[in-house]
Amino acid sequence: MEKDILILAIESSCDETAAAVVKNGREVLSNVISSQIALHTLYGGVVPEIASRKHIEAIDGVIQAALQEAGITLDEIDAVGVTYGPGLVGALLVGLAEAKALAFATGKPLIGVHHIEGHICANYIENKDFTPPYMALVVSGGHSHLVYVSDYGKYEILGRTRDDAAGEAYDKVARAIGMGYPGGPKIDAAAKKGNPDAVHFPRVFLEGDSYDFSFSGLKSAVLNYVNKQKMMGEPIVPEDVAASFQQSVVEVLVTKTMRAAKEKGVSKIALAGGVASNSTLREQMRGACEKEGLYLSIPSPVLCTDNAAMIGCAAYYEYIAGVRDGLDLNANPGLKLGER
Ligand code: KG4
Ligand code: ZN
């Protein structure tokens, strides 16, 4: 029998300080997340300087808890995996410096992971038989990507956002209709009580064959609607605005993903990133896949938003492919998917 590979993984690219222990890529022994969301809520969004300071406070405790929960010691791990980009540079540096110190002290290899690759790999954790090739829709607070995954670690970006990311649009619209931060879960919940046909917002598909996204026009349309209603002294029903906005986002995401899957001739689709925990996106993507006879993989919500288990999974596939990083690895806030 081959030896088990244990990866200690660290994630600190935004406002979650997270550590996990992952066995053989797909078995999560622990997944500890310390969220700063409550703190950033006070400011209506993530304050980078505060995020870095909170990461430095939390990170040792989070790693200790992850090791303890997994029932292993540092000596037993085979490698340290860490997100080194993209993300907030000051936040990334905290996790990276910690990972480098641990790799140096233990003499274990260091493996830098692309944050989006981590989000995509979250699909391998609960779904042990899920393998490439497939089409991945990655929708988070910072990214909206349509990615063709031909093999482990092999990514072709077919489309990306030209302005706001899907999650960013959710957050900005939520602020405009007084729902606060983070907007995604709030709009998701409010939309359940609203009518998606109440207000017609534009569906932005761009040029006919484009896989790119654009959400800033939709955001402006929502803001204009809200202002117009106020000026005319007409009431705003936040639940209806939330449901109508969400329907516009989801329709575009589903349509483009299905078209890309068809073009590449894949039989599987995977959702990833914080917005993949959106209940309407999950539901409508499921409906579209059933209709077309495609297999759909969606991680549990806790594995959609930022976590370190997904980083451990991605690091494992890099590890077995022979990837090793030096102790001079730097944070790269603009790191491109598939680049090292
Ligand atoms: O992947 P993630 O945790 O962090 C980034 O890498 O950006 O994604 C966070 C984003 C936020 O914009 C948040 O509003 C959005 O994901 N989000 C949601 C939902 N839960 C989180 N958006 C829509 N519906 C949700 N249920
Ligand atoms: Zn993320």
Classify residue 179 by its DSSP letter.
-
Atom of ligand 1 nearest to the CA of 167: 12
In tens digits, the chain (340 residues) has pLDDT values of 689 999 999 999 999 999 999 999 999 999 999 988 888 888 878 889 999 999 999 999 999 999 999 999 999 999 999 999 999 999 999 999 999 999 999 999 999 999 999 999 999 999 999 999 999 999 999 899 999 999 999 999 999 999 999 999 999 999 989 998 889 999 999 999 999 999 999 999 998 889 999 999 999 999 999 999 999 999 999 999 999 999 999 999 999 999 999 999 999 999 999 999 999 999 999 999 999 999 999 999 999 999 999 999 999 999 999 999 999 999 999 999 988 8
Query: Which mutation among 121, 140, 173, 335 tests ligand 1's pocket best, with the greatest number of atoms within 8 A of CB?
Result: 140
Q: Say how far apart CA 134 and CA 137 lie, in whole Å.
A: 10
Ligand nearest to the CA of 167: 1
Q: What is the DSSP string of 20-47?
A: EEEETTTEEEEEEEEE-HHHHHTTTS--
Cα separation, 315 vs 193, whole angstroms: 41
pTM, full prediction: 0.95
Predicted pLDDT at 1: 62
Report residues whose beta carbon is within 6 angstroms of any ligand 1 atom.
14, 140-142, 167, 170-171, 182-185, 188, 273-275, 277-278, 305-306
State the distance from the centre of ligand 2 to the C-alpha of 139, rounded, in angstroms.
9
Q: Which of 13, 16, 170, 281 to mutate to test the pocket of ligand 1 (most atoms within 8 A of CB)?
A: 170
Residues 6+ apart with CB under 8 A from 251: 203, 284
